[in-house]
Chain A
């Protein structure tokens, strides 16, 4: 590493430029990874919090929760079991009595006797336990709602009282409002309410009883079929993968040019008995040093960005994931350095004899 460090100190501008490129790329990768993870989480947080293994939907719903209605008769085909939890879903616009704080939300009706309610935890307040009470996602707090506030979920529904805030409760990027199944039915069906639900969640990945008009999906299958979820993850995945590839290409080209300029010196060093391994190690070491420094600065800027971003931005910095992306960048830098390293292996010290 002696040669590597000395050269970097001597050619500060040259190496600062490549480091600056790595800073920008790593920053972009970190932000995109944060956005990808944040959006992914915003889609699936609530589902993950239920810790269910499978979901049963009406077979006509094409695996979409919002399209699914399971009737009382269909429900009767499923044996009652404490590993089942009924769920009602309705997209609503929550508003305060004055109509100033409108929030597009997911209203979820759950039963007090089943596992979703039992697993529900609040970060402030309590769980709902009577009619017209609701537990809402903490992002509603950022929208101006407080414990005890009244909230309207449809134009003709009565006021609901916020009795608790819960965390990690977003579904399809909208905050979740938990209320009882009966309240949900009142809002969704009104007078035609007749014991329907949107879905049934299963703790065990097995229906108690087969039903022709019901579909069962694993939780992961269900999540992957959330509208836009897969397309969004693929888009971010491709962007991150291309940035990784760009990093590899930038490092490879940069080091290749530098290595070509240094080949006569490498040839002389080899003639003087300095091993090829030592010279390759220095080149790879340079690449790692530049990348690690760039990634650290990029990481620092990412942390500052995270502090400065408003809560509305769906970005979540999962540090193990970011560390993984950083490691992948370093791996790319090593691969990028091995490309010019081939020319070091090939350079023949004999070429320097005879004044060539």
Chain B
């Protein structure tokens, strides 16, 4: 069973002469414990790929599955539940609510999610692993860029999702910090057995991944593994 799978996904926008094809017959899967990078130039379809994978967009055709369960044609409410329970999103920015401390960012997940999240021991372990265990009482504006992204990773892991989708998570970080975050992703994918998919334009990050795919003009192809 794949953690996440796309079968013959096509996504186009507009109609008639203005029709734009963003994704063409995408077949893709990610397994548990894998860190996968999706690379490609601007406008290649990476964002559309991520939005469909995360259930934020519905494909024009094709099948989208998470843990063998299709959800591309689910209701908006059901897709919300899938995102809440099975997918962790890490975005380039605005990941953390500015008026919540680090520990309150986690508590917010408790407030909205009915199924259990990580237990306190597990949370402590992840906080230590991410090096944020002494930041629990801090607000986001008291953290550095790297610390903020690490807290965002912890926040995404807290709900114990099967899949983590990261959109340019290192874009606002310098090279050292970016590599540190990628090393962390690799470690987490292997130790927590999650499928982590990182969309990035930075090909240097490929060295940390288990598989690398490239999207060009809406078509995906697997590149030689790093």
Contact = CB atoms under 8 A, between A and B. Distances in A.
Given A264-B94, A267-B94, A352-B94, A273 B87 contact: yes
Contacts of A273: 80-85, 87, 112-113
Given A273-B81, A273-B87, A353 B94 contact: no
Contacts, number: 80
B208 interface: no
B89 A354 contact: no
B94 to A, nearest CB: 4
A271 B87 CA distance: 10
The 5 closest A-B pairs by CB, nearest first: A273-B84, A273-B83, A10-B99, A354-B47, A264-B94
Contacts of B94: 264-265, 267-268, 352
Interface stretch (A1-9, A59-67, A190-198): A1-9
Contacts of A348: 56
24 contacts: A2-B107, A10-B99, A10-B139, A11-B99, A264-B93, A265-B98, A267-B94, A268-B89, A270-B80, A271-B91, A273-B83, A273-B84, A273-B85, A273-B87, A273-B112, A273-B113, A275-B77, A275-B80, A348-B56, A350-B47, A350-B56, A353-B56, A353-B167, A355-B92
Contact of B104 (A6, A267, A270, A274): A6
B91 A265 contact: no
Interface string B137-171: 00100000000000000001000000000011001
Interface of B: 46-47, 50-51, 54, 56-57, 77, 80-85, 87-89, 91-95, 97-100, 104, 107-108, 111-113, 139, 156, 167-168, 171
B104 A353 contact: no
A7 B171 contact: no
Given A273-B87, A275-B80, 13 more contacts: A2-B108, A3-B97, A3-B108, A11-B99, A264-B93, A271-B83, A271-B89, A272-B84, A273-B113, A274-B108, A350-B57, A352-B91, A355-B92
Contact of B56 (A2, A10, A278, A349): A349
A350 B22 CA distance: 14
A355 B46 contact: no
Contacts of A327: none
A349 B47 CA distance: 12
Chain A facing B: main interface SS: helix
B112 A274 contact: yes
Contacts of A354: 46-47, 167-168
Nearest to B104: A6
A268 B91 contact: yes
Contacts of A355: 92-93, 167-168, 171
A278 B109 CA distance: 12
Contact of A274 (B47, B84, B168): B84
B179 to A, nearest CB: 19
Interface string A26-60: 00000000000000000000000000000000000
A211 interface: no
Contacts of A11: 99
Nearest to A2: B111
Interface string A240-282: 0000000000000000000000001101111111110010000
A352 to B, nearest CB: 5
Nearest to B92: A355
B54 A271 contact: yes
Given A6-B104, A268-B94, A273-B87, A353 B47 contact: yes
Contact of B83 (A6, A264, A272): A272
Contacts of B89: 268, 271-272
B122 to A, nearest CB: 19
A135 B54 CA distance: 83
Interface in A311-350: 348-350
Given A353-B167, A355-B168, A6 B100 contact: yes
Nearest to A349: B56
A237 to B, nearest CB: 41
Contacts of A268: 89, 91, 94-95
A159 B95 CA distance: 86
Contacts of B82: 273
B202 to A, nearest CB: 12
Interface centre among A267, A278, A348, A355 (most CB of B within 10 A): A355
A37 B97 CA distance: 47
Contacts of B81: 273
Nearest to A269: B97
A180 B195 CA distance: 98
Contacts of A353: 47, 50-51, 54, 56, 91, 167
Contacts of B77: 275
Nearest to B57: A350
A267 B98 CA distance: 14
- Most chain B CB within 10 A, of A7, A269, A349, is at A349
Contacts of A264: 93-94
B125 to A, nearest CB: 22
A355 to B, nearest CB: 4
Contacts of B46: 354
A274 B112 CA distance: 7
Nearest to A278: B112
B162 to A, nearest CB: 13
Nearest to A267: B94
